[in-house]
């Protein structure tokens, strides 16, 4: 390793740039975060990745039209609730 390095052309920022991801600060309910952490630990995955996947799945559902099978499932659930 050299004793002196030239950082005159250096730029502050992450070591590896990520063009697809953005770092944010977000406040989540403690029980929600705890549930994701537990599930992630048991699955051997990262909890932030699981939260990202859950948000993506939610957005995908909003954009997808409801098919007949989903509509039947929802109707059955609601009919059971009302008796």
Q: Which of 4-8, 16-20, 52-56, 65-69 has the highest mean pLDDT?
A: 52-56
- Please count the other Cβ atoms lying within 10 Å of the Cβ belonging to residue 36: 18
**pLDDT on residue 70:** 87
pTM (two decimals) = 0.57
Whether pLDDT at 17 is above 70:
no
Whether pLDDT at 33 is above 80:
yes
d(C-alpha 57, C-alpha 77), whole Å:
21
- Please count the other Cβ atoms lying within 10 Å of the Cβ belonging to residue 21: 9
User: Regarding predicted confidence, which is higher, 17 or 79?
Assistant: 79
State pLDDT tens for residues 40-65. 999 999 999 999 999 999 998 888 78
Closest CA to 21 of 45, 56, 57, 59: 56
Dihedral sign (CA 12, 14, 59, 39): negative
């Amino acid at each position: 390793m050299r004793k002196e390095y030239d950082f005159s052309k250096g730029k502050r920022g992450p070591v590896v740039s990520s063009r697809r991801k953005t770092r944010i600060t977000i406040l989540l309910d403690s029980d929600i975060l705890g549930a994701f952490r537990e599930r992630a630990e048991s699955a051997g995955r990262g909890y932030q990745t699981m939260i990202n996947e859950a948000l993506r799945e939610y957005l995908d559902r909003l954009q997808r039209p409801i098919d007949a099978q989903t509509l039947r499932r929802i109707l059955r659930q609601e009919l059971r609730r009302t008796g």
